[in-house]
Amino acid sequence: MLQIVYISTATGTVDTAAILTTSRRNNARDGLTGLLYTNGKRFLQVLEGDIANVERALGRIDADPRHRAMVVLSSRDVNAREFGGWAMAERVAGDDGDAFVARVRALVAQASPSVRATFDGFVQLHRAA
Ligand SMILES: Cc1cc2nc3c(=O)[nH]c(=O)nc-3n(C[C@H](O)[C@H](O)[C@H](O)COP(=O)(O)O)c2cc1C
């Protein structure tokens, strides 16, 4: 099973609810699991599943004009899923920083140390953004 992690930058004001709806539908159909983190400006996503399905989804996502500058941080074989379902963590204005960090930590608790560290660093970096 392939697991990829990427970061990207929103091109404008993104309707995250719309992304979540589409992703839930498609990812359930394609057997993909993962997590999408956003603070409205940046995205950090993990996607995992069969190689062909992950690559197909990544191709669609990369072509999406709602974000740009996608950089794949990690792409590796995993024996088992580290994310049981499909989830999205959204940092909204007024969110308490500590509570949000704790929420994201809980979502990545089952992931490998490197994935946990990636999310942790990213969330800390963007907590005030
Ligand atoms: C940051 C970001 C993350 C996305 N994540 C997913 C995803 O996990 N799965 C998915 O199918 N589409 C995702 N999308 C949406 C795709 O880019 C694309 O719009 C969608 O797959 C098209 O699906 P449709 O042909 O069913 O309308 C994401 C888009 C953005 C901007």
Give me ligand 1 centre to Cα 35, in Å.
13
Cβ of residue 26 lying under 6 Å from some atom of ligand 1: yes
Give me ligand 1 centre to Cα 37, in Å.
14
What does the radius of gyration of the chain's CA atoms come to, in whole angstroms? 14
Q: Rounded to whole angstroms, how far apart are CA atoms 85 and 118?
A: 19
Residue 94 three-state SS: coil
Atom of ligand 1 nearest to the CA of 34: 8
CA count, 13 A, side-chain hemisphere, 117: 5
- For the packed helices 113-126 and 97-107, what is the interaxial angle rounded to 10 degrees? 160
Residue 47 three-state SS: strand
Domain spans of the chain? 2-126
Cβ of residue 53 lying under 6 Å from some atom of ligand 1: no
Cβ of residue 61 lying under 6 Å from some atom of ligand 1: yes
Residue 93 three-state SS: coil
Q: What CATH class has 2-126?
A: alpha beta
CA count, 13 A, side-chain hemisphere, 23: 23
Q: Rounded to whole angstroms, how far apart are CA atoms 98 and 127?
A: 9
Question: Could you tell me the pLDDT band of residue 128, with boundaries at 50, 70 and 90?
Answer: low
Give me ligand 1 centre to Cα 56, in Å.
11
Question: Could you tell me the pLDDT band of residue 129, with boundaries at 50, 70 and 90?
Answer: low
Q: Rounded to whole angstroms, how far apart are CA atoms 105 and 75?
A: 21
pLDDT at 12: 93
Cβ of residue 11 lying under 6 Å from some atom of ligand 1: no
Residue 78, pLDDT > 80, answer yes
Give me ligand 1 centre to Cα 77, in Å.
22
Q: Which of 1, 3, 31, 2 is nearest to 118 (CA)?
A: 3
**Beta strand segments in 31-126, E:** 33-38, 42-49, 67-77, 86-90
User: Atom 10 (ligand 1): residue with closest C-alpha?
Assistant: 23
Question: Mean pLDDT, to the nearest integer, of 11-17?
Answer: 93
